[in-house]
Structure 1
Amino acid sequence: MSKKIKIVTSIDFENQYMSATPPILRSLGIPIQIYDVKETSRFIKIPTPLYRPDYNFLVHLTKGNAKQQVDTEIRSINRNDILFVKQGNMTALKEISNDIEGHIIIFEDSTLNHLLSKEKFINLFTANTVIKLSDEISNWLTPLFELLTTEIYNNKPNLDICYSLFQAALIKIIASDKEHNKTINRSSEIAFTFKELVYKHHVEHKSVSFYVDKLSVSVNYLNRCIQQTMGTAPKEWINKVSILQSQLLLQDYTKCISSVAFELNYEDPGYFGRLFKKITTLTPSEYRASLMQNLSE
């Protein structure tokens, strides 16, 4: 039986990846949290290791730039961009400029279920990881997020007001993502559900047939849906998620590479090593060496 891979909470992030906890990062005890990017970024030890958050987060930049790994790709985030990282994604902050400004909002899935219709919920979760905003929309969001900050850090925040402000922001962001601003179709729903199933079951089930049965679709139809919406084949996505999980396990230096392979249900460590290099361009040993180098810098 594989051990459950540790998921990083917002408190874990503070303890593991920040040099200190600024006063603004006090525990709020509510389902939405908002922080000033400029204030918090001064305390983050960059680059962070790859981790999997147990929360969703959204970053709105109004100045400066950053680079964030989300699953297997490194995304550039610039002024007027929205970065959206969902619970289940693998992520790591790679770079951040000294002149960075904006907001980061942390929220749970239950918050989204409360605020969005099913169509808008799926629209958000199938949207681009980085959404480019116009000056007009970015300038519209900034005072809204400042109002949300004021209300959340009130001694007695009104959750109805917090929810309403955040709901307005989400609807504005979804509407601005022109590439995905369309009615949700069957392919989008299948792709959304497939991704969720893979995050949950990839350790025990690496065969496409398992997901075909779960979704009650044909192999050809699943292939077509995933290619159209994600630009990759279902098997390739399953492999990518498994290798991303292995990168988390490889951060534990008490585990040998073979034991990591076995923990993720790869019976042949040699095959695991070849697959790891195909996806990351590094062998597992080289990846570990790169982690050690980052820690020593």
Structure 2
Amino acid sequence: MEKPRFDRAESTDRPWTDQMPDQALLNLLPTNAETAGLPALTVPQEEGSPPEYPLELYRLYLANRGDIALTLDSQSMTLKKGQLLTLSPGEVVAFSEGQTLISLSFHHDFFCVRVQRDEVYCDGVVFNRLSGLPVVAFPETEHTIVEGRFHEMISILSNPSPFSHDRALNVLRALLLHAADYKSRATAAELHEAGKTKHLSPLVLQFQHLVEETFAQRKEATFYSEALGVTLSKLNRRVKDELGKSVMQAVNERLAIEARVALRSGKRSIKEVAFDLGFIDPLYFSRFFRKQFGRPPSQYFQSPVQNEA
């Protein structure tokens, strides 16, 4: 059977096992009711054309043999050798014929991708689509290490034991932390080359802390300047110099990331997520989401619960 090359938006219409070639994938970890029949963690045993992962899953694709031509949400691009493509649920990718790479997918309930101030390696860094492409570029000296993490997960899943789940989880966490490290370094280097301040000042650090504590309740730029005891123009200037964005861009980015995380789990409707994040009008929330991600939440990630707007 020829291996499919596209992610399918209608991936829940058939059982997963009916979609995949015989012996093509490993899915030896048990699923629970929360996964709705989707695999918790899947890693192809062999390199080759990427399998047909359901769009409800996170997906990682590593160009470990050479450059890869692909289309991401209708945008043509090339994944360079040593780069990692990191896709969130709902994002659609199509690979050109004959591409060879290594990949994996995992469900939100297997590894809960959350955003925390001191641990933003998931949505805040690795899977961030608010600025640029979801690509992590590793230096050549790291290629063997990154590829080895994929092969280590294959080995774990090929020899299941009572410890397989925790071992695989730790390897996935290590891979995401590794990706976050180098994506953060690349971002810092870009800011440095653009003449931005590399080290954050106490004022900007206080601003970040305040945003983390209040972004769902306070969305006015003046609130942050008044709370920090500075003029809005001064706060905007310092945040722009050190973070490369305005005060409101920083607040909206944090809000958008949280919105996407909440919607992605499929456990709350769009209306519930909007209210939880301080939006009185779900329609305004939908417009906000579309502005941030280019599509409304109803189209970003389809699920029976989320469509109850």
Match of 1:29 in 2: 29
- Aligned letter for 2:11? V
Q: Tell me which residue corresponds to 2:127.
A: 125
Structure-to-structure mapping, 1:21-60, within 5 angstroms: 21-30=21-30, 31-36=40-45, 38-39=47-48, 41=49, 53-60=55-62
Q: Is the 8 A contact 2:25 2:43 kept in 1?
A: no
Normalised by the length of structure 1, the TM-score is 0.55
When residues 212 and 37 of structure 1 are mapped into structure 2, their CA distance, relative to the original with a 3 A threshold, is same
- Gaps in structure 2 of 5+ consecutive residues: 1-7, 31-39, 189-199, 209-249
Q: Residue 22 of structure 1: SS of its match in structure 2?
A: coil
**Equivalent-residue separation in structure 1 for 2:28 and 2:13 (angstroms):** 11
Select between 153-162 and 80-89 the one with higher mean Cα deviation: 153-162
Q: For the residues of structure 1 that align with 2:297 and 2:274, how far apart are their CA atoms? A: 18
CA–CA separation in structure 2 for the residues paired with 1:191 and 1:78: 29
Aligned twin of 2:147: 142
Q: CA RMSD in A?
A: 4.6
Contact 1:61 1:78 in 2 (8 A): yes
1:172 alignment counterpart:
178
Partner of 1:70: 72
- Match of 2:28, SS state, is coil
Deviations 1:213-267 (A, max 9, x none): 7643799xx99xxxxxxxx98555576358967xx9xxxxxxxxxxxxxxx9xxx
Compared CA separation, residues 25 and 150, structure 1 to 2 (3 A): same
The residue identity in structure 1 corresponding to 2:170 is: S
> What does 1:99-118 align with in structure 2 at a 5 Å threshold?
100-101=100-101, 103-113=102-112
Q: 1:240: which partner in 2? A: 295
Percent identical pairs in the alignment equals 10
In 2, the alpha carbon distance for the partners of 1:129 and 1:186 equals 21
* 1:115/1:167 contact within 8 Å kept: no
Q: 1:115·1:163 contact (CA, 8 Å) conserved in 2? A: no
Q: Which residue pairs with 1:277 in the alignment?
A: none
- The answer (yes or no) to whether the contact 1:58–1:82 under 8 Å persists in 2 is yes
C-alpha deviation, 1:79, in angstroms? 1.0
Which amino acid is the alignment partner of residue 41 of structure 2? Answer: I
The 5 Å alignment of 1:1-297 reads 7-9=10-12, 15=18, 21-30=21-30, 31-36=40-45, 38-39=47-48, 41=49, 53-89=55-91, 91-98=92-99, 100-101=100-101, 103-113=102-112, 119-123=120-124, 124-126=126-128, 128-156=133-161, 158-177=164-183, 178-180=185-187, 186-195=251-260, 215-216=277-278, 235-236=290-291, 240-241=295-296
Higher helix share: 1
| Aligned positions, number | 218
> Given that residues 83 and 129 in structure 1 are in contact (C-alpha distance below 8 angstroms), is that contact kept between their aligned partners in structure 2?
yes
Q: Is the 8 A contact 1:65 1:97 kept in 2?
A: no
Please state whether the residue corresponding to 2:71 is helix, strand or coil. strand
Residue 57 of structure 1: how far off its partner (Å): 0.9
Distance 1:109 1:211, change over 3 A: closer
CA distance in 1, matches of 2:54, 2:121: 24
Length-normalised TM-score, structure 2: 0.53
Unaligned stretches of 5+ residues in structure 1 = 224-231, 249-263, 265-297
* Cα gap change, 1:237 to 1:243, in 2 (>3 Å): farther
Q: Quote the Cα distance in structure 2 between the aligned partners of 1:58 and 1:162.
A: 15
Aligned partners of 2:257, 2:115: CA distance in 1, in Å? Answer: 16
Alpha-carbon spacing, 1:152–1:235, altered in 2? closer, same or farther (3 Å): closer
1:176 offset after TM fit, Å?
0.6
Mapped to 2, the partners of 1:195 and 1:85 lie a distance apart of 13
Q: After TM superposition, give the deviation of residue 110 of structure 1 in Å.
A: 2.4
Contact in 1 for aligned 2:71/2:94 (Cα 8 Å): yes
Shift of 1:161: 1.6
Equivalents in 2 of 1:240, 1:115: separation in Å?
Answer: 22
CA distance in 1, matches of 2:112, 2:289: 27
Q: Residue 108 of structure 1: CA displacement? A: 1.3
